[in-house]
Structure 1
Amino acid sequence: QSLRRILFGGTFHVFNYEWRKSFFQFREPDSELSYILEADRFQGGARAIQMVIQARIIKFLLFSQPGSTDRRTDQDKALAAALSDSLWLAGQEERATVTLVTEDYCITPHLDYKLDDFTEKLQLFTFDRKDDVWKFILDHIQCFKAEGSHGVILFLYSLICSRTVDMNSNTSHLLHLSLGNFVCRQLQALLNLLLTGRASPHVFNGTLPFGEDGQPLERPLQGVLSRSDVGYLHWSREQMERGGLPQVGSMLKTPRFPVWVCCINSSYSVLFSLNRSLLSDWRMEHQFQLFYCNGQNSQRSTARLTVDTHSHHWEAPPAEADPEKRFPSLEMTIRTKWDGAAIDWNGTDPFY
């Protein structure tokens, strides 16, 4: 019942079909994109969760896991590491809770409670060692990656149970109904919880005690307090046309590993570099490669972009009718981190 209230504001709402069908599914192990999760265009929050997990999977495969010849095993280990990393951070690196569905009902429903036939069967497993969380999830990885498993919802439940402080003290619920879909009303807070372990609703560094008028705020605005393992970049053509983007701080722009979740025109994807020194040696930033994936079935190969910040600066091309051709949104997203960079798509037709 507490989970329902945190998510929906009451006990009578249940997840709709789009949420229930979402799980963590990789591409085929023998394909070029074997490291990529499949994520459809559903924008209600499940895709955002999948793309943060995608970023953590890439971080694990590139920088944490020695290579092996069994790609299916690597997929399972990477997914278990990505899920456990987020849960451990949410539990303030002291504890984590994993929720799984059992065969039997664990509660007796009341009149004002609507059954969904899996929330009522939850069993909670709490751990105080990170390795134990990873091993447990790996042993039960099918509960998150099998079709019909409700894997994204189970992970969201686990996240909320791991992070009881922020969630229970928040007066407004996480999801609301919009055009028949449950979408995140506090999506940035959820993303920050996944990225940093704190459900802060803003992307700037630190706290903001003063308003735009210079007067002290009754409640200071909470931003991001520490660098995350994987970062976050944001670009919205609509927001730019309305007057400006939220200013993402260096805590999110410069993570510990060169992997970024990107929110581009309200759609989520991942940028990454193979070179960890990109974030620690300024000489690496003169010219470098970035790779891009969006999880959609239409993407058949990882896009490779060359970013040049040194020899010359980007200049706007001649005017065209389609603003996306003049200023591809992915390029504009990259320039929020590397201002003025020239970007070469290396033969790929620009998209996003």
Structure 2
Amino acid sequence: MGDRGAEHAAPTELEEITSRISDLTKWREIFSFHGLEVNSTTHQGTPFPKQGRSSAGNGPPGAGESPGSQPPSTIPQPLLPPQSVGGCPISLDTAMRLQKLLFRNMTPLFSFEWAAAHFRFRPPHSDLAYALEAGKGGTRAILVAVQAHIISYLLFTRETECTQLERLCRVGQWEQGQALATALAETLWAAGGGGRAVVCLITAPITMMPPREGYRANSFTERIQLFEFSEKAAAQGFISDHIHCFKGEGSHGVILFLYSLLFSRTLERVQEDLGDTAPLLNISSGNITCTEAVLSLLLTGRASPWELGGSQELESGTGDGDGEAPWQRGPVGFLRWERAPVERQVSAGAAPWTAGPPPGPWAWQSPVPAKGPRAQVSPGLRTPRLPVWLCSVSGRHSVLFGTDSRLLSDWKSERIFHLYFYSGQQEQTQTAHLTIDTHSHHWEEAQREDPSSPRKRHPALEMAIRTKWAGATVSWNGTDPFF
């Protein structure tokens, strides 16, 4: 009996030892990301397994591993791309300039929320197979902007026999990866002015850079390799081959994509776009959020904080002299609406109603500053080439889209039409279906109602829609408005 007991006890002790080693490895990697290296010599000379083309395109990273064997904070194993690609390691000077663009003050580092953010799809072959999980954090703006480009590709570019909304619901896992690769490549190519794209990957062991005053190493940026492409197809193929570097658990995919955007535009031109304005990212109460300059870079290829709203210079069509046409209609548009009490607008001297006839005293409307780009969204973004919009509604980002490619090119299509809405939040399980009527007299009937009626306060999303179609009525087709 004693021998049998020993036989059962041995595996238990071995499992405990293995568990402790696993925990130690996990915490070492967490400390490493935050610049708290336990022992820098333990990482030198560590062999990194090769990950060839086949492993990059087949299945999610970590396939074959037991569930939970890789914590969310784990830094992925570096890739060994083909020698012919010619990746270039980041220098200390470049890393310092990058941090300064992002934070202005070079001390801050990305939060754990940003470090864990990556491009994760909803289950394939489902009602939301096309959709990314965007959550509620500071990375939401980037994820939802990429989501808009994904929808544009799946609906209007990809060849398939499916029609309308079925094109989005019948997407498999491989197609999800292809859609993401296409969306990332298109955005990077636009940021590069249509002539270049730079892809950032983690491909090398930690480089021991000499200390520099004002720079705080994070054991992440120092491992970046830059891969530059002069053809969009080559960039898209490279991203597709290494798509798990953006969508894999623990890949830091959102940060890698943001870095790629900045390097595609070039740090010099991003600085010119920004001028003397605030940095690309805001830090408030420990939260890191994107400025409108980042949204502009995602939608127009420029990091100008004035691009989304336009300025008098851009309205006159003069541009900035670098050969890029202002207000050029792109594949993805932008709608913005912010809640603010009517009383506050009146006291500020602004018109209390900016999208349709005057509301009752319970309505909430968009603030209209006397000056600045936030007065309205530029016409080129309100009317993109395709009916897909990134929406900023009271600071929350979402996607609004139609399935009829003729919607914005044939005025007859804009009388009564259908739009679809995805908030990016986990709580949404189906795409919301909206019907827009631009020729009804709903506003006249609404004015005769009791001013204290709850119906006087319209959902913010509907008000965002009315910045494009003033006075339109919006039906949620049986769904309770939730945005």
Instruction: Mark yes or no: TM-score above 0.5.
Output: yes
The answer to whether the aligner puts 1:343 opposite 2:474 as a matched pair is yes
CA–CA distance in structure 1, aligned partners of residues 454 and 218 of structure 2: 45
Q: How far does residue 203 in structure 1 lie from its aligned partner after superposition?
A: 4.9
CA–CA distance in structure 2, aligned partners of residues 92 and 314 of structure 1: 44
CA–CA distance in structure 1, aligned partners of residues 422 and 443 of structure 2: 23
Q: Quick one: which of 371, 376, 390 aligns to 1:261?
A: 390
- Trace 1:38-53 onto structure 2 (pairs within 5 A): 38-42=133-137, 44=138, 46-53=139-146
Change (3 A) 1:241 1:47: farther
What is the CA deviation profile of residues 65-88 of structure 1, one whole-angstrom value per residue up to 9, with x for unaligned ones? 113876111111110111111100
CA–CA distance in structure 2, aligned partners of residues 313 and 260 of structure 1: 25
Gaps of 5+ in 2: 1-95, 162-169, 315-323, 346-366, 369-374
Contact 2:181/2:240 (CA < 8 Å) preserved in 1?
A: yes
Q: How far does residue 266 in structure 1 lie from its aligned partner after superposition?
A: 0.2
Q: Quick one: which of 158, 165, 177 aligns to 1:76?
A: 177
Change (3 A) 1:34 1:321: same
Structure 1 counterpart of 2:176, one-letter code: Q
What is the CA deviation profile of residues 42-68 of structure 1, one whole-angstrom value per residue up to 9, with x for unaligned ones? 1x3x11111110000000000001138
What is the CA deviation profile of residues 276-302 of structure 1, one whole-angstrom value per residue up to 9, with x for unaligned ones? 100000000010000000110110100
Q: SS where residue 52 of structure 1 aligns?
A: helix
Contact 1:204/1:224 (CA < 8 Å) preserved in 2?
A: no
Partner of 2:206: 105
Q: How far does residue 201 in structure 1 lie from its aligned partner after superposition?
A: 1.5
Partner of 1:214: none
Contact 1:88/1:130 (CA < 8 Å) preserved in 2?
A: yes
The answer to whether the aligner puts 1:180 opposite 2:286 as a matched pair is yes
Change (3 A) 1:319 1:109: farther
Contact 2:196/2:264 (CA < 8 Å) preserved in 1?
A: yes
Gaps of 5+ in 1: 211-221
Q: Quick one: which of 60, 63, 71 aligns to 2:156?
A: 63
TM-score by length of 2: 0.66
Structure 2 counterpart of 1:7, one-letter code: L
CA–CA distance in structure 2, aligned partners of residues 209 and 94 of structure 1: 26
CA–CA distance in structure 1, aligned partners of residues 98 and 312 of structure 2: 30
CA–CA distance in structure 2, aligned partners of residues 268 and 155 of structure 1: 18
CA–CA distance in structure 2, aligned partners of residues 314 and 115 of structure 1: 57
Partner of 2:245: 143
CA–CA distance in structure 2, aligned partners of residues 296 and 223 of structure 1: 35
Structure having the higher strand fraction is 1
Partner of 1:233: 335
Change (3 A) 1:6 1:36: same
Partner of 1:215: none
CA–CA distance in structure 2, aligned partners of residues 334 and 124 of structure 1: 40
Give the CA RMSD over aligned residues: 2.3
Structure 2 counterpart of 1:284, one-letter code: S
Contact 1:207/1:223 (CA < 8 Å) preserved in 2?
A: no
Contact 2:117/2:252 (CA < 8 Å) preserved in 1?
A: yes
Contact 2:417/2:437 (CA < 8 Å) preserved in 1?
A: yes
The answer to whether the aligner puts 1:208 opposite 2:312 as a matched pair is yes
Partner of 1:277: 406
Change (3 A) 1:282 1:87: same
Change (3 A) 1:10 1:107: farther
Change (3 A) 1:320 1:41: farther
Q: Quick one: which of 296, 303, 308 aligns to 1:199?
A: 303
- Trace 1:303-322 onto structure 2 (pairs within 5 A): 303-315=432-444, 316=446, 318-320=450-452
Partner of 1:217: none
Change (3 A) 1:31 1:98: same
Contact 1:231/1:261 (CA < 8 Å) preserved in 2?
A: yes
Partner of 2:38: none
Structure 2 counterpart of 1:236, one-letter code: E
CA–CA distance in structure 1, aligned partners of residues 228 and 343 of structure 2: 47
Q: How far does residue 2 in structure 1 lie from its aligned partner after superposition?
A: 1.7
- Bigger CA drift: 250-259 or 110-119? 110-119
Q: SS where residue 105 of structure 1 aligns?
A: coil
CA–CA distance in structure 2, aligned partners of residues 12 and 205 of structure 1: 31
CA–CA distance in structure 2, aligned partners of residues 340 and 82 of structure 1: 33
CA–CA distance in structure 1, aligned partners of residues 157 and 265 of structure 2: 25
- Trace 1:144-159 onto structure 2 (pairs within 5 A): 144-159=246-261
Structure 1 counterpart of 2:196, one-letter code: R
Contact 2:440/2:472 (CA < 8 Å) preserved in 1?
A: no
Q: SS where residue 104 of structure 1 aligns?
A: coil
The answer to whether the aligner puts 1:327 opposite 2:444 as a matched pair is no
CA–CA distance in structure 2, aligned partners of residues 51 and 9 of structure 1: 25
Q: SS where residue 38 of structure 1 aligns?
A: coil
TM-score by length of 1: 0.89
Partner of 1:287: 416
The answer to whether the aligner puts 1:120 opposite 2:213 as a matched pair is no
Change (3 A) 1:85 1:241: farther
What percentage of residue pairs aligned between the two structures are identical?
A: 48
Q: How far does residue 168 in structure 1 lie from its aligned partner after superposition?
A: 2.9
Contact 1:200/1:224 (CA < 8 Å) preserved in 2?
A: no
Q: Quick one: which of 95, 102, 123 aligns to 1:28?
A: 123
Q: How far does residue 182 in structure 1 lie from its aligned partner after superposition?
A: 2.1
Partner of 2:98: 3
Q: How far does residue 116 in structure 1 lie from its aligned partner after superposition?
A: 1.8
Change (3 A) 1:53 1:209: closer
The answer to whether the aligner puts 1:88 opposite 2:186 as a matched pair is no
Structure 2 counterpart of 1:90, one-letter code: A
CA–CA distance in structure 1, aligned partners of residues 207 and 329 of structure 2: 39
CA–CA distance in structure 1, aligned partners of residues 101 and 157 of structure 2: 34
CA–CA distance in structure 1, aligned partners of residues 480 and 309 of structure 2: 35
Contact 2:391/2:397 (CA < 8 Å) preserved in 1?
A: yes
